[in-house]
Every structure is written in C-alpha cells, then in structure tokens.
Amino acid sequence: MTKISSFAWGLMACALISGKVLAVDVNAGDYTALPAGTNVAAWYQQFGRADRFNGDGAPDAKHATSLRSNISILRLIHFTEIGGITVDPQILLPFGHVYNVKVSGQSLGSNSGMADPIIGATFWLVNQPEAGSSGRYFGITPLIYLPWGQYDRDEGINLGENRWKADLQLGWVEPLWGRWSMEWYADAVFHGPNDDAGSGRQTLRQDTTYQLQTNLRYDVNPAQRLALGFSATDGGKQHLSGDYTGQKTEVQQVRLEFQQMLGNSVQLSTQFTHDTRVVGGFREDTGVNLRALLLF
C-alpha cells in the first residue's frame, strides 16, 4: 500500500463520512407503497461513535482514534401514479456536525454544514398490499447525489463530496408466515470524480460500491413493528491521482429497530446499529438512528 500523507488521511475521513454516515440505508417498511396522493415528511437524527480506524493492509488504529457524528436529514416524499405504476418522487436534505475526528492522535478537525442533497424516486413493479401482514412489493429506486454540499479542499473534514454520485437500489418485501416477513435490498453506487481533492488539486476516483441489506420483520400489531437487520457493503476502493489510499467501503453491520405508530399519521422509529467488520475505514461501535415520520 502506498504510504499515505497526512492530508490523505483527512481526505479519507471526508469520503468515509459522506459515504457511510450519510448513506441511504433502509428502515423496515420503506418499500411499502402508499396510495397515490399521500405525502410523507420524515426527520432523521443519526448519532455515530467510532474509536477504531482500519487502513486496508494495515493494523487497526485504536489508540487516540475517534469519530463522532450528529447528522440530521429532512426527507420529503410524494406518492403518485404514472402509467398504472406507483411512484414516489422524493428529496433528502442532509446536514449536521462531524467532530473529534482523529487517527492515532493525528487530529483531522471537525466540520458542520450542509451535505449533498439527494433526489430520486421508487417505481413499484410489484404492489400487492393485501399479501400477508406486510404486503408484497418490488421496487426500483434510482437516486442522484447532487454535489452542492459544504466542501473545502483545504479542510480535513467535509460533509459534501464535490462529486456526482448515482445509487441504483432494488427492494423486495415478501410475507413469510403470520406476522413475519422478509425484506431484501441491493444497491450499486457509482461515484463520479472529485477533481478538486488534495493540496495540488488532485483527482479522487472511487470504484463502484455494492451493498446488500436485509430485515427480518415482525409486525407485533398494526401500530408496532420490530426488525432485525444486517447490511454488507463491499467495493469502493479510493484512488488519489492513481494511488490507492487504503480506504474502501467494506463494512458489515447488524441492526435492531422498533417502530411505533401514534394515531394514523405519525410514526416514531428507533434503530441501533453496530459494525461487526470494517476494512478501509472507521469502525462504528454504536450508532443510534431516530426517525419521526408524518403522513398527510
């Protein structure tokens, strides 16, 4: 592995924060197609804590190593129908604070502000709400990351990535027996180049990232839901002016989620996450993701 400069460490942290903390991960029930005309406003609050960094091919850095994050996301969704297919155009507006970032005592600083907005829509090719307790659904979701977030190449930490990204996500929900169901998701994330990276305006390129997510879901009753989830991400090797930085997107994570409806229009969700394996990035010991969702 090419020896990494101190600035490249900061660059790696920047890409990790954008790619992991701000990833479009799923919550249980996300691929439920709602009736046309329904609007959804969701507020996410995500807290992350990591105390270990792994550079690919190097030992884990544990001493004086940390990353803390507090990320908010406003997500607005509108359900409609096009040619007999349910579609939900949406926009995600992430912003927040990443702080106390250091590797082996080397501080990378902190930053706050707007991250890259995301636009997209799910197209449901299978929409059978009457199947089982969960319904049966299959959808395709193209997402585009707009390079409009806070970015300064002279900063060690940025929430924006200064590059275009595209995520193609497939989602399948299948009822099993009784109140049990399974959800499967597959993503391929394509990264554009960042031509303003490094002290010499170098170019950062990243291989395609692949992710598989699954939830074993139990609908306790119409108002309460539990889900045990797992996510595996691979690929995403980063190259700065052709040199591999030692960072990629190899992460395995377990999740536990509880959802509660309040009346007919408000849902609260709490999700706990823990990374079981990370190669080429920060390993998150504890993640807490909160969500409040309003239907109108």
The closest of 151, 139, 223 to 186, measured between CA atoms, is 139
Report whether 168 contacts 187 (CB < 8 A).
Answer: yes
10 Å Cβ neighbour count for 64? 12
Look up tokens 């027996």; give the residue. Answer: 177
The upper half-sphere exposure of residue 142, i.e. CA atoms within 13 Å in the direction of its Cβ, equals 2
Q: HEC string of 228-277?
A: EEEEEEEECCEEECCEECCCCCEEEEEEEEEEEEECCCEEEEEEEEEEEE
d(CA 99, CA 110): 4
pLDDT value of position 153: 86
**pTM recorded for the entire structure:** 0.90
What order of strands is seen across the sheet that includes strand 202-206?
194-197, 202-206, 238-240, 243-244
Q: What is the DSSP letter of 61?
A: B
Which CATH number describes the domain made up of 6-295?
2.40.128.130
pLDDT per residue as tens, the chain (296 positions): 333 333 334 434 444 444 454 567 999 999 999 999 999 999 999 999 999 999 888 889 999 999 999 999 999 999 999 999 999 999 999 999 999 999 999 988 899 999 999 999 999 999 999 999 999 999 999 999 999 999 998 888 899 999 999 999 999 999 999 999 999 999 999 999 999 987 768 999 999 999 999 999 999 999 999 999 999 999 999 999 899 989 999 999 999 999 999 999 999 999 999 999 999 999 999 999 999 999 99
